[in-house]
Amino acid sequence: MPAKNILKSGADIVVDILLEEGVTIAWGITGGAILPVYDALYKKRDKIRLIDTKHEQGAIHMAEGFAKSTGQVGVCIVTSGPGATNIVTGLADAYMDSVPIVAITGQVATSLIGTDAFQEADVVGITRSCTKHNFLIHNLAELPQIMRDAFFIARTGRPGPVLIDLPKDIAVSSADLSIPKKPSIELSRFVPEIDSNKIKVVADLIQKSKKPVIYAGGGIIHANAASELKEFVKKTNIPITLTLMGLGSFPGSDKQFIDMLGMHGSYRANMAVMECDLLIAIGSRFDDRVTGKLSEFSPQSKKVHIDVDPTSIGKNVPVDVSILGNLKTILKRLTQLSHYQEYKEWYQQLNEWNAKHPFGFDQKPNQKILPQFAISEIFRITKGQAFITTEVGQHQMWAAQFYKFDYPRHWITSGGLGTMGFGFPAAVGVQFAHPHANVIDIAGDGSFQMTLQELAVVREYKLPVKIVILNNRFMGMVKQWQDLHFEKRYASTSIPAQPDFVKLAEAYGIQGYRASTPSEATRILEKTLNRSEACLIDIIVDENEHVYPMVPAGKSVRDIVLSKQENISSTHGVYKRRKK
């Protein structure tokens, strides 16, 4: 609490509360309406680092990368009008993937709101449907409580982005305000009370099941419940599949893990969900990329759904039992009530499916580099210890398939919104949070060009971020759909005028490398990935590779496509790698 009779400006109050909330770093770009806040931050620059990005989208994705890799709230501070509209994509991304973000936007003075003033935009209106909550500050008196509430809302229950729109006159007005210590919102609003009876019901269902599967998602990571999940899975011996967002919430190298499910998930995981008699969804949301055709999704199973967000229950798929509440607590209690079973036949079946169609590829030494091979090499060279971010496209799916994550918060990808241009700034944000860790953006050549200007930030802060571009000269994922469904009419998917990525990196003072053969790729990746300085590696890959398996959009697992030739009778290549 400030000493009596000391007047503090709105901007100073913002900074005071940022400090109290434990914020040590924020990202943004300055401007007229936010200038007072930047000035107040400058005065506290020994405590909060303010990183000037080159585009506000970069700022918010960095904040997301920071938040996803630490679990802490990521903070992004930008000016009014275009500054604010430039973060809308990031807010929508954070909303879809439940990332705790507090975004502070400058706004024109309250007297000017609604007059089409210079750099005025109805930011609260624009962002209403892509934030967990947003606030326009109407007077200085309400600012401290709203700041507190914003952090509480962002991080509590199912996390999400919260925006505060701060008019300039309020930022420069001052008052002797006491700073509230607590949020004005009750916890129960975000974290429902657990119904113990239902935990017993679920334990009974597990007891009776012969073919159970756990289908866990990003909720495990948000709830920091990975170790509780592991205990539950180990104690019960139930096989587990993870969603794209859940990767790392259970060790990818464990033998109970049956790989990712969904559109580009493994044959084994998708078949398991199809054939199981009990599906236990934990912190996942029955997204359409997972379920495919709803009427044919997991038709024989009893379904259990465990989540913190009541709106997730029964939204897409009706379930038999749901348990709401904190996942950590629920899993602990469920583990206590559950028992080990062998599931011998069930595992036999799962192994058969895997033997039939494992994730695999066939890299020949003298042919074009396969993107799957490049990712397997990254996995091998970093010993599975790196933080991996991705852009959106084929490379993202291959990264999910071929990099095995043993720890939560190491896989940072844009799942819900599928935002191209996310991965690189997100990697920068991760690197700020973990200065000594190995952070790699696995990028597509299309996506990387959306936010590449943040190379300047990498350079300025000497961040050891690695960018590996799987360069297929195409909007590869869309090309794949054209190959499969549009008779190879490549409308707008070829990228004919590409920059020389190596020279581009060098222009920013960053080392650039190019690999055109498999052995070159291996050599360069081995040389660069474990170094503690930034570099960009442009890997020229085969543009005709497809991501398989593929459950076509809106279809069921029965329609799964396994390879270009529909049968996976690939010959033995030197680098042929089979999982497990």
Partner 1 sequence: MRHTISVLVQNHPGVLSRVTNLFSARGYNIDSLVVGTTENEKFSRMTIVVDGDDRIIDQVEKQLKKLIEVKTVVDLSKEDFISRDLALIKIKAEKSNRNEVMDIIQAFNAKIVDVGLKSFVIEVTGKESKINAMIELLKSFGILELVRTGEVAIARGKRFYENVAPTKIKVQLASEDQINL
Ligand X SMILES: Cc1ncc(C[n+]2csc(CCOP(=O)(O)OP(=O)(O)O)c2C)c(N)n1
Structure tokens belonging to residue 265: 């998930």
Which does residue 153 bind out of partner 1, ligand X, none, counting CB within 5 to 8 angstroms by kind? partner 1
Say which of 56, 228, 275, 545 is annotated catalytic.
Answer: 56
Query: Does position 392 bind ligand X by CB under 6 A?
Result: yes
Secondary structure class of 160 (helix, strand, coil): coil
Distance CA 485, CA 579 (A): 30
Which does residue 133 bind out of partner 1, ligand X, none, counting CB within 5 to 8 angstroms by kind? partner 1
Which does residue 287 bind out of ligand X, partner 1, none, counting CB within 5 to 8 angstroms by kind? none
Verify whether residue 119 is a known catalytic residue. Answer: yes
Q: Please, what is the angle between helix 10-20 and helix 35-43, to 10°?
A: 50
Would you say 419 or 528 has its CB closer to ligand X? 419
SS3 content of the chain, % helix, strand, coil (to 5): 40, 15, 40
Single out the residue of 75, 15, 21 nearest to residue 46, CA to CA.
15
Say which of 62, 263, 274, 477 is annotated catalytic.
Answer: 477
Say which of 44, 54, 119, 328 is annotated catalytic.
Answer: 119
Would you say 129 or 227 has its CB closer to ligand X? 129
Distance of CA 171 to the CA centre of its chain: 33
- Residue 549 preceded by cis peptide, ω within 30: yes
Structure tokens belonging to residue 203: 């334990």
Would you say 385 or 544 has its CB closer to ligand X? 544
Verify whether residue 274 is a known catalytic residue. Answer: no
Structure tokens belonging to residue 429: 């944000």
Secondary structure class of 506 (helix, strand, coil): helix
Among 287, 445, 538, 545, binds ligand X (CB under 6 A): 445
Distance of CA 454 to the CA centre of its chain: 19
Contact region with ligand X (CB under 6 A), list: 24-32, 79-87, 239-247, 392-400: 392-400
Query: Does position 418 bind ligand X by CB under 6 A?
Result: yes
Say which of 8, 68, 132, 168 is annotated catalytic.
Answer: 168
Verify whether residue 328 is a known catalytic residue. Answer: no
Query: Does position 478 bind ligand X by CB under 6 A?
Result: yes
Count of CB atoms situated within 10 Å of the CB of 32: 15
Would you say 307 or 441 has its CB closer to partner 1? 307
Q: Exposed, middle or buried: residue 332 (CB in 10 Å: 0-12, 13-18, 19+)?
A: middle
Among 391, 441, 454, 545, binds ligand X (CB under 6 A): 391
Q: What is the CA radius of gyration of the chain?
A: 24
Distance of CA 11 to the CA centre of its chain: 31
Among 476, 512, 518, 549, binds ligand X (CB under 6 A): 476
Print the binding letters for residues 362-381 with ligand X: x by CB under 6 A, - otherwise.
Answer: --------------------
| Residues found near partner 1 in the complex (CB under 8 A) | 7, 32, 35, 109, 111, 124-125, 128-129, 133, 136, 138-141, 149, 153, 168-170, 172-177, 185, 189, 309-311, 313-315, 318
Distance CA 410, CA 437 (A): 10
Single out the residue of 23, 30, 97, 83 nearest to residue 423, CA to CA.
97
CA angle (473 as vertex; 470, 476 as ends), nearest 5: 70
Instruction: Report DSSP state, residue 413.
Output: -
Contact region with ligand X (CB under 6 A), list: 24-32, 310-318, 466-474, 555-563: 466-474
Among 83, 408, 425, 446, binds ligand X (CB under 6 A): 446
Verify whether residue 336 is a known catalytic residue. Answer: no
Count of CB atoms situated within 10 Å of the CB of 111: 10
Judged by CB under 6 A, how many residues of this single chain contact ligand X?
A: 19
Would you say 120 or 391 has its CB closer to ligand X? 391
Verify whether residue 245 is a known catalytic residue. Answer: no
Query: Does position 419 bind ligand X by CB under 6 A?
Result: yes
* Enzyme catalytic residues: 56, 118-119, 168, 477
Interface ranges with ligand X (CB under 6 A): 391-395, 418-420, 444-447, 470, 472, 474-478
